[in-house]
Amino acid sequence: MVGRGSLKAFGEWLSDFPYGRIAVLADENTSLCCFPILQPYLPAGSVLISIQAGEQHKQLSICEMIWQQLNAHGFQRKDLLICLGGGVVTDIGAFVASTYLRGIPFVQVPTSLLAMVDAGIGGKTGVDLQHHKNRVGTFAFPVCTVCDPVFLQTLPVREWKEGSAEMYKHAIIADAVLWSILKEHPVHPELSDEMLERAVNVKLNIVHLDPLEKGLRKVLNFGHTIGHAYESFRLSAGDPVSHGFAVALGMQVEARLARRSGCLEEEPYSEIIDTLRQVFGAADLSGILYSELMHWMRFDKKNSDARISFSLPVDIGNCVWDSYADPEILRETLLSFNALEG
Ligand SMILES: NC(=O)c1ccc[n+]([C@@H]2O[C@H](COP(=O)([O-])OP(=O)(O)OC[C@H]3O[C@@H](n4cnc5c(N)ncnc54)[C@H](O)[C@@H]3O)[C@@H](O)[C@H]2O)c1
């Protein structure tokens, strides 16, 4: 369910509810801002479980606390967990639901832009492990996903911008029309149902063709090989950056890698770089050593051997996966963004 009015449709869906009881997982912000919007559609006796907000809490210890609460409330296999929040809540909640009692049904109600167009759809669940992003997780698919912009009213402006990073990514890898729309219309405050639907559909179509990421789905990782490495580095340094910021940075670096590797022509490359710089600022890797970036990139889940695998655009709207960059070109590219030697 995507677009304005989908929460109401979800309410109707819930009234034919074939499940038992309902628990809602939210974080400290979405329990205040979003739960009151959802609550009128819930049956009496629904339970709210609230966790602290932020990537640093996307951890197994938090899952244990949620499992314990579900257990304490006597939740059983037919009961339902609704994940109400940004990507941290949708990733943790889906993981908890997919493992509690070996799996209970869950619904994704993403409330950040990033979660609506990406994290809340596609069936990837998980938590971080010792600063390694999404190291522990499952593939598990919700019984329903509700992407209603009604929740975005309270989203801080910074989160709008960073959430739009995944929309730009979807446009670059698979939807040149969405790219043209995004170039003309800033996502905040002009988000239209068409923009939201196009961005969601890019992900849905890809996941439909390759749910378990055997091939095509890897294109969704454009910007993430560098982005996740940078995010992990900052998380380990106790100075986390948002996922959207890291992906915006990663897309600029990986677009240059694609250009230098000869798979992306100058014109689309310049268009990608100029647009991303305008929206997110110029990518800057100063303060991180080349060797540190390589260390974190080696943990990337797309790697199948010692080589680092990238998903790289070959044009606007078209992307390839399993691309192994020449080590010297990769090194020069990273250093060109002010990464430090060593
Ligand atoms: N599973 C996947 O396929 C997938 C894909 C992309 C990203 N992710 C994950 O998603 C996470 C990032 O998601 P995110 O950017 O949504 O981060 P987030 O969940 O931390 O949300 C960002 C902030 O916005 C707040 N917030 C969310 N909705 C709000 C609302 N409606 N009103 C007010 N405040 C609100 C949250 O409380 C939080 O403080 C990362 O952990 C990333 O790894 C997962």
Q: Which is higher by pLDDT, 186 or 144?
A: 144
Count of all residues that appear for the chain in the document? 342
Q: Measuring from atom 12 of ligand 1, which residue has the nearest CA?
A: 87
Lining residues, ligand 1, CB within 6 Å: 27, 29-30, 33-34, 53-55, 58, 85-89, 91, 111-112, 114-115, 118-119, 122, 124, 133-134, 151-152, 154-155, 159, 163, 242-244
Q: pLDDT confidence of 117, banded at 50, 70, 90?
A: very high
Q: Measuring from atom 2 of ligand 1, which residue has the nearest CA?
A: 119
pTM score of the predicted model: 0.92
- pLDDT score at 188: 78
> Does 303 score more than 90 pLDDT?
no
Q: Can you say whether the dihedral through the CA atoms of 15, 41, 50, 59 is positive or negative? A: positive
* Bridge partners for 83 per DSSP: 25, 108
Between CA 206 and CA 202 the distance in angstroms is 6
Lowest pLDDT segment from 107-121, 133-147, 328-342: 328-342
CB distance 287 to 198 below 8 Å: no
Catalytic residue numbers read 102, 124, 166, 203, 213, 217, 221, 224, 228, 243
Q: pLDDT confidence of 132, banded at 50, 70, 90?
A: confident
Per residue in 165-192, pLDDT (tens digit) is 999 999 999 999 999 999 998 887 778 9
Q: pLDDT confidence of 330, banded at 50, 70, 90?
A: very high
Lowest pLDDT segment from 79-83, 157-161, 243-247, 304-308: 304-308
Position in ligand 1 atom list of the atom nearest CA 113: 16
* Percentage of residues of the chain with pLDDT beyond 70: 99
> Does 143 score more than 70 pLDDT?
yes
Between CA 110 and CA 30 the distance in angstroms is 10
Best residue among 210, 243, 280, 311 to mutate for probing ligand 1's pocket (most ligand atoms within 8 Å of CB) is 243
> Does 304 score more than 70 pLDDT?
no
Q: Kindly give the distance from the C-alpha atom of residue 112 to the centroid of ligand 1, in angstroms, as a whole number.
A: 6
Lowest pLDDT segment from 57-66, 70-79, 181-190: 181-190
Q: Kindly give the distance from the C-alpha atom of residue 260 to the centroid of ligand 1, in angstroms, as a whole number.
A: 33
Q: Measuring from atom 4 of ligand 1, which residue has the nearest CA?
A: 119
CB distance 227 to 252 below 8 Å: no
